[in-house]
Structure 1
Amino acid sequence: MKAILINKDETAGYTCKLSEVDEAQLPEGDVLVQVEYSTLNYKDGLAITGKAPVVRRFPMVAGIDFAGTVIESTNSRFQAGDQVILNGWGVGETHWGGLAEKARVKADWLIKKPEALSAAQTMAIGTAGYTAMLCVQAIQSAGITPESGTVLVTGANGGVGSFALRILKQLGYTTCASTGRSEEAEYLKTLGASEIIDRAELSEPGKPLQAERWAAVIDSVGSHTLANACAQTQWGGAVAACGLAQGMDLKMTVAPFILRGVSLLGVDSVMQPIAQRESAWAALAEIINQDDLNTMTNEITLDQVIETGAALLEGKVRGRVAVKI
């Protein structure tokens, strides 16, 4: 089978190639899936380029998510012909991933694909859209409604940011998009952004408490951006943090939390229980339509993955990248 294979040894160093791999090398698991679509996420870009230690075992097939059809199953939850989705669970990091023609995984990592979405649509949404939905559900659970005020979305040109803007718009929220690419302002407005700010307003160290601007924040950037976003969140607001594009450091004080009652909500898409996954995907199936996906998604093939992964890290890719296997 064909796969994006990452390896590391003393002779060649860190390598990533589109390779022919013996199917017998697939790791243990109780479900074998014919992969139809995967995606390129920020984490995939890091793994493909080796710019961060995402991959924990070698050799490794890249790809943190996929959609496909069950070929074989020894688990009663699934049978041949079932259409399934996988997001996270260490796939593409410690267990061979979805940027390949087949994948063997644990049944507990899979959910059935919503009937309203095709395999192509689920991976046009992918882990980025699924994570964005988890973030939106997190701020909703914290009591943030459309009437609460403006929601800031950082990293707005990325996959999570793009979907967060669209989901929030569909749910009636007013949003502000933070971006370092001013030329993409019209694109962000088509997704639902009412206001655009330059990411430079948030990306440098700031005061512990600043003017109250946001009812809530969905942040995929981390570092100073997250610290400033918390410092600008209004009393009783909520900040959902799900990424570290700027960095994983967080230099701030407790002031926003104890003086304004701001909630900082960590959102992890990798280890979410099945019930939360199914809830997020069911909501996505109702909210996202094909026109949205056409606006936000580029489709590539397996032989374009390595080049596109590098471009993704350089900020040259808008929205989502779906990979047709």
Structure 2
Amino acid sequence: MSTPSAFRAFRIHNDAAGYRGGVETIGADALSPGEVLVQVAYSSINYKDALAGTGKGKILRHYPLNGGIDVSGTVVASTDPAFKEGDAVLCTGSGLSETRDGGYGEYIRLPSAWTIRLPKGLSLRESMIIGTAGFTAALALLRMEDNRQTPTLGPIAVTGATGGVGMLAIDIFTRAGYAVHAISGKASHFDFLRDLGAAECIDRHQLVFSGKPMDSARFGGALDNVGGSMLAGLLPLIAPYGNVAICGNAGGIGFESTVMPFIIRGASLLGIASAGTARDIRDRVWERLSGDWKPQHLERIATREVALEQLPDVFSRMLEGESFGRTVVRVGSAG
């Protein structure tokens, strides 16, 4: 299949004319290099995409680049024999919309080393509902279980539970046999979270921490999207040898704690950096996400599907805290 001489992309610039992003027409020669040329079907919107698309965060390392840290589509050409025309593939993180063009374009070139063949059991659209958010949640669970987390240690606290990572974490952890206690400041969405599998919902505004270095164990572990005082408050509540996986900083990048949860109870704090995850671990995560950890409520979690032209509006709403669930970006042909 030949590549059109021109196609649409949401491209981000930062030059003498200022910082701006919008849909424009580009040619294949403008794309970042890579062994695998893909016709894009879907992408998604993450908080990082909103920061990059508006310039509210320093995400891109150089300009111009197409936005979108997630992408799925179909191979149209490849110089690597591992991929052939017609293969369905995906990619998350891996420098997309940071050091190279991302998924907000009708075509993308990917390095074969970071191109994932679409696992059996997932459609192209489903893979983007999961995207970086679901990959992050599953990576956290993988790392926790590699460090001996089990359901017998107790329930898992999931903070920021109404965000994309939080919702998918509820679904994924529940699928893996854990009781999930969802923590959120949006009590109006608690029925939705229970439908996803949350065994208990906790209003963040009603959650009071004692401030003690150690307190009665309440959770077997936690997936924290918030950081700051939330992370500091959770650590004294973790059961012996439980894990806290930290993947966000909505509540701040600093926190004050003591060594007591670590040296008395053997708690572990695990950093989850999904963007640069090694290929062998990526393969493990996607195998589980397409198998026994596949979320069961993907279509409910995907609360919106938009076209490239609608991205600025979604970015604004997300940065204002008005987004809910996952937004899928329909770029090209359905899959």
Range class of TM-score, shorter chain: over 0.9
Q: Secondary structure at the match of 1:81?
A: coil
1:112 aligns with 2:117: yes
- Structure 2 letter corresponding to 1:318: F
1:43 alignment counterpart: 48
Q: Partners of 2:203 and 2:216 in 1: how far apart? A: 17
Render the CA deviation track for 1:47-70: whole Å, top value 9, x for unaligned.
112221111111121111101111
Q: Partners of 1:38 and 1:125 in 2: how far apart? A: 10
**Equivalent of 1:23 in 14, 24, 28:** 28
Q: Would the aligned equivalents of 1:203 and 1:225 in 2 still touch at CA under 8 Å?
A: no
Q: Secondary structure at the match of 1:153?
A: strand
- Structure 1 letter corresponding to 2:9: A
1:6 alignment counterpart: 12
- Structure 1 letter corresponding to 2:213: P
1:303 aligns with 2:289: no
Q: Partners of 1:148 and 1:212 in 2: how far apart? A: 10
- Structure 2 letter corresponding to 1:99: Y
Q: Secondary structure at the match of 2:157?
A: strand
Shift of 1:286: 1.9
Aligned positions of 1:228-243 closer than 5 A: 228-243=233-248
Q: Partners of 1:128 and 1:116 in 2: how far apart? A: 18
Q: Partners of 2:237 and 2:151 in 1: how far apart? A: 18
Q: Secondary structure at the match of 2:44?
A: strand
How has the CA–CA distance of structure 1 residues 244 and 290 changed in structure 2, closer, same or farther, with 3 Å as cutoff? closer
Q: Partners of 1:164 and 1:131 in 2: how far apart? A: 9
**Equivalent of 1:193 in 190, 198, 213:** 198
1:162 alignment counterpart: 167
How has the CA–CA distance of structure 1 residues 305 and 278 changed in structure 2, closer, same or farther, with 3 Å as cutoff? same
Q: Secondary structure at the match of 1:251?
A: coil
1:97 alignment counterpart: 102
Shift of 1:206: 4.1
Q: Partners of 1:171 and 1:315 in 2: how far apart? A: 30
Q: Partners of 1:53 and 1:208 in 2: how far apart? A: 36
Q: Secondary structure at the match of 2:263?
A: helix
- Structure 2 letter corresponding to 1:5: R
Render the CA deviation track for 1:241-276: whole Å, top value 9, x for unaligned.
112222222332222211221101111211222221
Q: Partners of 2:208 and 2:253 in 1: how far apart? A: 13
Q: Which runs of 5 or more residues in structure 1 are unaligned?
A: none
Q: Partners of 1:308 and 1:287 in 2: how far apart? A: 32
1:278 alignment counterpart: 283
Q: Which runs of 5 or more residues in structure 2 are unaligned?
A: 1-6
Shift of 1:224: 1.7
How has the CA–CA distance of structure 1 residues 290 and 128 changed in structure 2, closer, same or farther, with 3 Å as cutoff? closer
Q: Partners of 1:203 and 1:324 in 2: how far apart? A: 42
Q: Partners of 2:297 and 2:290 in 1: how far apart? A: 12
- Tell me the percent identity: 39
2:260 alignment counterpart: 255
Render the CA deviation track for 1:112-159: whole Å, top value 9, x for unaligned.
001211101111111111111111112222222222111000110111
How has the CA–CA distance of structure 1 residues 202 and 97 changed in structure 2, closer, same or farther, with 3 Å as cutoff? farther
Q: Would the aligned equivalents of 1:65 and 1:87 in 2 still touch at CA under 8 Å?
A: yes
Q: Would the aligned equivalents of 1:203 and 1:224 in 2 still touch at CA under 8 Å?
A: no
1:323 alignment counterpart: 329
- Structure 2 letter corresponding to 1:138: R
**Equivalent of 1:171 in 171, 176, 191:** 176
How has the CA–CA distance of structure 1 residues 47 and 202 changed in structure 2, closer, same or farther, with 3 Å as cutoff? farther
Q: Secondary structure at the match of 2:240?
A: strand
Aligned positions of 1:32-111 closer than 5 A: 32-111=37-116
How has the CA–CA distance of structure 1 residues 290 and 129 changed in structure 2, closer, same or farther, with 3 Å as cutoff? closer
Q: Would the aligned equivalents of 1:241 and 1:265 in 2 still touch at CA under 8 Å?
A: yes
- Structure 1 letter corresponding to 2:20: T
TM-score by length of 1: 0.94
Q: Secondary structure at the match of 2:96?
A: coil
Q: Secondary structure at the match of 2:50?
A: helix
Q: Secondary structure at the match of 2:131?
A: helix
